């Protein structure tokens, strides 16, 4: 009786387990990245059906490229801007703050101003410009 010799090498590799692992890792990566994304909570104003003739104060906070903060063109610190916003809100409860960030500015000062407006419960608007203008 002759015994078969199965010592010849395999000429193919079974890649199914490797693909299963790759798909599981892909799913885990997708779930973890979407779960870790956090954003700012901004309450957007609702449009009204009737035009308003009321006029309320508008303050413009600019974030310069170097991170300096300007309130209506005057250079101030974040604490000074907070004091001015509190005073303006006491005078006009429907105060609106327009936040204008320079394209070269770091995002942290812009977020600090947004957080300040949220903390003071002040309406805010983000000023944007068209690309190339």
pLDDT tens-digit profile of 41-87? 777 777 777 666 667 778 888 888 888 888 888 888 888 988 998 88
| CATH of the structural domain 58-127, one choice from 3.40.50, 2.60.120, 1.25.40, 3.30.420 | 3.30.420
Helices (H) and strands (E) in the chain, counts: 3, 5
Q: Is the four-CA dihedral 41, 129, 105, 87 of positive or negative sign? A: negative
Q: Are residues 66 and 27 in contact, defined by beta-carbon separation less than 8 angstroms? A: no
Distance CA 27, CA 101 (A): 37
Query: In which residue are the tokens 């101003």 written?
Result: 113
Distance CA 63, CA 76 (A): 11
Query: What are 45's two structure tokens?
Result: 């104003």
Interval 3-35: pLDDT, tens: 666 677 767 788 888 999 999 999 999 888 876
**Against a cut of 0.75, is the pTM above it?**
no
């Amino acid at each position: 009786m002759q015994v078969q010799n199965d010592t010849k090498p395999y000429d193919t590799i079974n890649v199914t387990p490797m693909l299963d692992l790759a798909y599981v890792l892909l799913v885990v990566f997708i779930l973890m990245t979407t779960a870790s994304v956090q954003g700012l909570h901004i309450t957007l104003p609702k449009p009204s059906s009737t035009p308003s003739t009321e006029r309320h104060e508008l303050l413009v906070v600019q974030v310069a490229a170097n991170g300096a903060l300007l309130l209506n063109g005057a250079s101030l610190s974040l604490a000074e801007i907070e004091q001015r916003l509190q005073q303006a809100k006491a005078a006009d409860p429907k105060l609106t703050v327009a936040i204008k960030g320079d394209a070269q500015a770091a995002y942290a000062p812009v977020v600090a101003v947004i957080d300040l407006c949220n903390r003071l419960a002040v309406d805010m608007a983000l000023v944007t410009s068209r690309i190339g203008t």
